[in-house]
């Protein structure tokens, strides 16, 4: 069984970060070690949340793990609460990451804005962590903060996205998976495409660019970026290609939102990903079997 470690906060209520990464990656048949970066009463979209910083626990955890000789097939970083934690992630990569796939989700912004508590300086430092990664998974807002360029929320074309992918790869990661792309027109036929949202990826070693579009749900929910990166990580560990891994991740997010909207009394702070597990496990088992013989 593959073993990964994921480093993110624990938001006690409001399904995101570790409370989604741990159940999802485990259910995908991958041992999931964790380092909690902070404990919050809720994620930061609620008012009045508590925040206990766990930065000082990270080095002792790593020292113990070194003594035990633990190794990880992947290291996946998510929401980090301080500049110092970014430094610690560089150190984690150096000490444990020689043979691990390093995935950085530069979780810090969405819809053109940084999450509460983050600054452009933090984004600059996050760009430094992206340089050490094999794969980065920004959304369009995070991409603009990482590159320190104005956020363009709509009206862009394929050439703009390809330029973004290449600039992001120039930060240093081998592969870039860019989320939340919506074109006003189909880029091949120039006919309007309403209701589609997607992902573009770029491999800086092969120059390959890939696209994947799926249905855009009418409502957006917190935590779906973390669910996406978690499924992608789990699928990669189960032997799926990057393209198949992020397509499955996108489909699982859509399925989770559908399950959520099916409840008349649903809340908007997290999605019902638990009810979408049967689809994930079915698809994963099939794709993992296919990948074995490819």
Q: Which residues bind ligand PXL (CB under 6 A)?
A: 9, 11, 16-17, 40, 43-45, 79, 107, 115, 222-223, 225-226
Q: How far is the CB of 125 from ligand PXL (least distance, A)?
A: 17
Residue among 257, 170, 176, 161 at smallest CA distance from 217: 257
CB nearer to ligand PXL: give 16 or 181. Answer: 16
Residue among 178, 173, 289, 177 at smallest CA distance from 240: 289
Please report the sign of the dihedral spanned by the C-alpha atoms of residue 41, residue 43, residue 49, residue 55: positive
Given a contact cutoff of 8 angstroms between Cβ atoms, the answer to whether 72 and 5 are in contact is yes
CB nearer to ligand PXL: give 93 or 118. Answer: 118
CB nearer to ligand PXL: give 45 or 147. Answer: 45
Q: How far is the CB of 180 from ligand PXL (least distance, A)?
A: 13
CB nearer to ligand PXL: give 169 or 177. Answer: 177
The residue sitting closest to ligand PXL, measured at its beta carbon, is 44
Please report the sign of the dihedral spanned by the C-alpha atoms of residue 56, residue 57, residue 63, residue 66: negative
CB nearer to ligand PXL: give 11 or 247. Answer: 11
Q: What beta strand segments (E) does the chain contain?
A: 3-13, 31-42, 51-53, 74-77, 101-104, 109-110, 113-114, 135-136, 175-181, 196-203, 209-215
Q: How far is the CB of 51 from ligand PXL (least distance, A)?
A: 8
Tokens representing residue 93 in the block: 């990569």
SS3 94: helix
CA distances from 153 to 75, 161, 166, 235 (A): 30, 12, 18, 29
Q: How far is the CB of 22 from ligand PXL (least distance, A)?
A: 13
CB nearer to ligand PXL: give 11 or 233. Answer: 11
Q: How far is the CB of 239 from ligand PXL (least distance, A)?
A: 27
Q: How far is the CB of 72 from ligand PXL (least distance, A)?
A: 21
């Amino acid at each position: 069984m593959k073993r990964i470690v994921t480093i993110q906060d624990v938001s006690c209520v409001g399904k995101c970060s570790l409370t989604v990464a741990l159940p999802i990656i485990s259910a995908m048949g991958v041992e999931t070690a964790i380092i909690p970066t902070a404990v919050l009463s809720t994620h930061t979209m609620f008012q009045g949340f508590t925040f206990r910083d766990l930065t000082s626990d990270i080095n002792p955890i790593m020292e113990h793990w070194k003594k035990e000789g633990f190794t990880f097939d992947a290291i996946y970083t998510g929401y980090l609460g301080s500049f110092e934690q970014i430094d610690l992630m560089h150190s984690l990569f150096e000490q444990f990451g020689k043979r691990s796939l390093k995935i950085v989700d530069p979780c810090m912004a969405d819809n053109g804005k940084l999450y509460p508590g983050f600054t452009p300086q933090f984004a600059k430092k996050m760009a430094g962590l992206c340089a050490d990664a094999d794969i980065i998974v920004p959304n369009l807002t995070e991409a603009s903060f990482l590159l320190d360029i104005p956020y363009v929320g709509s009206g862009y074309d394929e050439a703009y996205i390809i330029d973004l992918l290449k600039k992001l790869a120039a930060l240093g990661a081998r592969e870039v998976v860019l989320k939340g792309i919506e074109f006003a027109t189909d880029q091949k036929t120039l006919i309007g495409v309403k209701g589609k949202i997607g992902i573009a990826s770029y491999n800086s070693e092969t120059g390959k660019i890939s696209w994947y579009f799926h249905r855009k749900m009418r409502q957006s929910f917190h935590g779906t970026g973390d669910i996406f990166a978690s499924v992608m990580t789990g699928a990669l560990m189960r032997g799926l290609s990057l393209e198949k891994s992020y397509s499955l991740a996108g489909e699982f997010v859509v399925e989770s939102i559908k399950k959520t909207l099916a409840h008349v009394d649903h809340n908007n702070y997290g999605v019902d990903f638990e009810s979408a597990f049967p689809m994930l496990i079915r698809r994963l088992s099939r794709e993992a079997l296919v990948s074995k013989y490819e």
